[in-house]
Structure 1
Amino acid sequence: MRNFWCEQAWLPDGIAPRVLVRVDRGAIVHVSTVDTIPLGCERLYGIVLPGFANAHSHAFHRALRGRTHSDGGTFWTWRERMYALAGSLTPDSYLRLARAVYAEMAVAGVTAVGEFHYLHDGGNEMGEALRRAAADAGIRITLLDACYLAGGIGRPVTGVQERFSDGTAERWAARVAELPEDANSRVGAAIHSVRAVPRETLSLVAGAFPDRPLHVHLSEQPAENEACLEAYGLTPTGLLHEAGALTPRTTAVHATHLSTKDVTMLGGASVGACFCPTTEADLADGIGPARELKDAGSPLSLGSDQHAVIDPLLEARGLEHGERLRTGQRGRFTPAELVDALTNHAAIGWPEAGRIEVGAPADLVAIGMDSVRTTGSGVEQVVLTATASDVVAVVSGGRVVARNGVHETLGDVGELLKAAMA
């Protein structure tokens, strides 16, 4: 049994002061307000939120940060640099890099990550490296293993793309079925994109694991929509609908360039939408219709994708700021709605997480209210003022994994990243 005393806590029914959270075997067993702090409690100051869920990650992209800006370019030229990086990785080097990246997430308040995994070489060594890296960093992982069979609509895989492909959907499904799950890791599926999975194969991939999360890159670039319309006479959303891939267990990642009909189809099927605002800005993707999707019935989540920044609070703020820039209106999302997106673990297959309540994993993120950024902020608006630099303590599964930007077991994350990318 371990006890945490929270100066203030973001509970399901609102913010409460002086909250005692009792933990047993990594789960919350009691939540109450107290006048006297029990002896032996771990004290968490500031405002304590549930652990953050990073619903969309490509861990190896972190090595591109600060290396792709000098000559402008496009998403497609950036992709060539990503391919070069992908071609250089081994299971051992990927383990070191992913461990450092997940440690960077941990100190920023992430307690679970959805890893959109397509660098698998037709085997599971890379996936095992990612599972081990997450365990070492003290966060949970959902390995969203992506089916990747084509180098574009009507084109075979070439070059480094061959590392992404299993050759057939049947071989992909058989390999994914061999991935183990444990208390720290779960397995989901992914359709990389309608570019990478042929029309005749989409329904097989979508239905291969009906009880697990299914993620898909959707309409990130106008060129993807144009190619899909030319080849099939359908938008990517329409193509996925035809294949039976739009269900409540599906999450559409990016969902940037959507028609009104697309939004209605996604929301009507309760398909989730994962926005990655810092990546979508970095790659000049555009700003998707987040408010319209939410209103249509799509639960929202957030991801750091290529890790131009690993700061969940900036992703949440970017969601609201994107809406303001797109519409000219403020307050498109309430702070509570932004916290809901920040803590949406259901999108990556952990529906029991993301709340400070009995039965949930004991995932707690303490944000200091006395920094140069947060001093004077209303506590209920901290999601619009704080950054990852204000995360003063992170608890994952009842264990303190980070304090003041330093990982409890892995130490200085900057040094860890430096060594991994040396």
Structure 2
Amino acid sequence: MRRLIFDHALLPDGWAERVALTLRDGWIEAVEPNATGEGERVAGIALPGMPDLHSHAFQRGMAGLAETRGPASDSFWTWRQVMYRFLERLTPETLEAVSAFAMMEMVEGGFTALAEFHYLHHDSAGHPYADRAELSARIAAAAAASGIGLTLLPVFYAHSDFGGLPPTEGQRRFVNDIDGFVHLLEGAATAIAPLPDSRLGVAPHSLRAATTQEIAALVGMVPDGPIHIHIAEQMQEVEGCLAWSGRRPVEHLLDSQKVDARWCLVHATHLLPAETTAMAVSGAVAGLCPLTEANLGDGIFDGVSYLAQGGRFGIGSDSNIELDAPAELKLLEYSQRLRDRGRNLMVRGQEGASTGRALYAAALAGGSQALGRRIGALATGRRADIVVLDAAHPDLAAVAGDRWLDAYIFVAGKDAIDRVMVGGEALVEGGRHRDRDALAARYRAALSALRA
């Protein structure tokens, strides 16, 4: 048992000073504001660690490779071809090295828990490994090396487009049938079992890649686990779904499945007002990845309307081009400002409410729900995932309270992070992960092999 005393901390009911957290086996056992007595003092401003609700860790290794203009109009679909070519050379060893480096950067960037949307399952020829969950085990090993908390979401992928069309050659490393996926899921459960407080869910990749019947079967495989799906990310997807079913993707999903609080609808970029309302009412979480959505030219999620109707959201790093929790939140708000030509738009509440506080609190709640774990708050019974900001940082030194969050998200960014703890264990000191040098060396060696 440990007793840590923080100078300042954001608790569920607001800011407090000299906050003592009693930790046991990685969990918060007691919270005491205005604490007296002995304990290990931690200077700075303590925040609950931010969940990352959507990542494809292997894509960190291809960051920057798709920033060259093509012969025709570039889009998500041309980016996807670059991704297919990149993963042809990915081995279990290089997958683990790239993923561990990405997860280490997540922790340095203020993310303390991860939902890994893991769809790379087979070898380069499309054959299952002797252990079907070989690559899931590599993701688990990467999480252990970085220290980040893990919700693993093995992805079911069987088709290339709506209506159950056969997969393409570029998708051969993803594809399973239902029986094969059952074995994969069993192996994944075994792989993550040694990790502290790990969670297993499922992820039908998209309505393109899984039929209505297959999605229903997947939901039954994890009766209490989280369910994530890509949806309505691109207009081509919307048009394809309309041509196939006569309904738009979110409309079709909500009509065909019992979507509830276990679900995370990733991107959900292109919605009509009725779909926005229905998604908010369902209790599902919108999984928003603003940096990747901007990089791919996806479009802008209507966060203002969604929030006004009680919708829940969290943030993810997706393609991992930049691993920075405050940057994701900043771009989310800025995208709304650019579209609506207004300011401080992602705030529900009275005049004077802090945009930084509103964004951070909403993303904590939505991300924790999407990961299916007791995280996201400095409170009794929650995992001790803590980000500590440097109170002496120039952008934080002359403010207090919610202004700290405004400055963290909109000005200083991840440079303001001093320490990060996951399950009470200090992984980052002075803004640097304790194993950065070793993980970076493995990453460089992996990239040398992949790009040779």
**TM-score for both structures, normalised by structure 1:** 0.94
Within the candidate set 325, 332, 351, 1:319 is matched to: 332
Q: Report what 2:380 is aligned to.
A: 358
Contact 1:142/1:348 (CA < 8 Å) preserved in 2? Answer: no
Task: Kindly provide the amino acid, as one letter, of the partner of residue 364 in structure 1.
Answer: I
Aligned AA (1:161) = Q
Please give the alpha-carbon distance, in whole angstroms, between the structure 1 residues aligned to 2:139 and 2:106.
14
Aligned to 2:257, what secondary structure does the other structure show? coil
1:11 aligns with 2:33: no
Partner of 2:202: helix, strand, or coil? strand
Task: Report SS of the residue matched to 1:258.
Answer: coil
Residues 142-188 of structure 1: CA deviation (Å, up to 9, x unaligned): 1111111111224311223111011x234323421342253342111
**Which residue number corresponds to residue 418 of structure 1?**
444
Report the CA distance shift for 1:371/1:4 in structure 2 as closer, same or farther (over 3 A).
same
1:159 matches 2:137:
no
Amino acid paired to 1:51: G
What secondary structure does 2:142 align onto?
helix
- Which amino acid counterpart does residue 132 of structure 1 have in structure 2? A
Q: Which moved more, 1:209-218 or 1:63-72?
A: 63-72
Identity rate, percent? 32
Structure 1 Cα separation of the partners of residues 48 and 313 of structure 2: 16
Residue 92 of structure 2 is aligned to residue 91 of structure 1: yes
Aligned residues: 419
Question: Is the contact made by 1:203 and 1:245 (CA closer than 8 Å) also made in structure 2?
Answer: no
RMSD (Å) for aligned C-alpha atoms: 2.0
Q: Which residue of 1 aligns with 2:404?
A: 379
Q: Please, which moves more after superposition, 356-365 or 180-189?
A: 180-189
Pair 1:82-2:83 in alignment: yes
The answer to whether the 8 A contact 1:153-1:228 is kept is: yes
**Structure 2: how far apart are the matches of 1:272 and 1:412?**
36
For residues 43-192 of structure 1, the aligned pairs below 5 Å read: 43-45=42-44, 47-71=45-69, 73-121=74-122, 122=128, 123-154=132-163, 155-166=165-176, 168-180=177-189, 181-182=192-193, 183-192=196-205
Work out whether 1:391 is the aligned partner of 2:414: no
Separation in structure 2 between the aligned mates of residue 207 and residue 44 of structure 1, nearest angstrom: 47
* Alpha-carbon distance in structure 1 between the residues aligned to 2:179 and 2:304: 37
Mapped contact 1:312–1:342 kept (Cα < 8 A): no
Contact 2:114–2:371 at 8 Å: present in 1 too? no
Contact map agreement 1:21 1:28 (CA 8 A) in 2: yes
**Partner of residue 403, structure 1:** 429
Aligned partner of 1:232 in structure 2 is 245
The answer as to whether partners of 1:189 and 1:212 remain within 8 angstroms in 2 is yes
Partner residue of 1:286 out of 283, 296, 299 = 299
Identify if the C-alpha distance between structure 1 residues 201 and 301 changes in structure 2 by more than 3 Å, giving closer, same or farther: same
Structure 2 letter corresponding to 1:62: R
Letter in 2 for 1:153: F
Paired AA for residue 38 in structure 1: E
Aligned-residue offset at 1:81: 0.8
Q: Distance in 2 between matches of 1:150 and 1:289?
A: 29
More deviation, 298-307/368-377: 368-377
Give the distance between the partners of 1:369 and 1:65, measured in 2 at CA.
32
Mark the runs of 5 or more structure 1 residues left unpaired by the alignment: none
8 A Cα contact 1:374 1:385, kept in partner: no
TM-score (norm. length: structure 2): 0.88
Q: Give deviations 1:180-208, integer Å, cap 9, x for gaps.
A: 25334211111111111124433223333
Residue 209 of structure 1: how far off its partner (Å) = 1.9
* Offset at residue 243 of structure 1 (A): 2.3
Question: For the residues of structure 2 that align with 1:37 and 1:387, how far apart are their CA atoms?
Answer: 34
- The match for 2:320 is 307
Cα shift at 1:251: 0.5
Gaps of 5+ in 2: 123-127, 347-354
Q: In the TM superposition, what is the alpha-carbon distance from 1:370 to its structure 2 partner?
A: 3.1
Asked if the contact 2:206–2:230 (Cα under 8 Å) also holds between the matched residues in 1, the reply is: yes
Structure 2 SS opposite 1:253: strand
Is 1:338–1:383's contact at 8 Å kept on the other side of the alignment?
no
**Aligned letter for 1:347?**
Q
1:343 to 364, 367, 372: 364
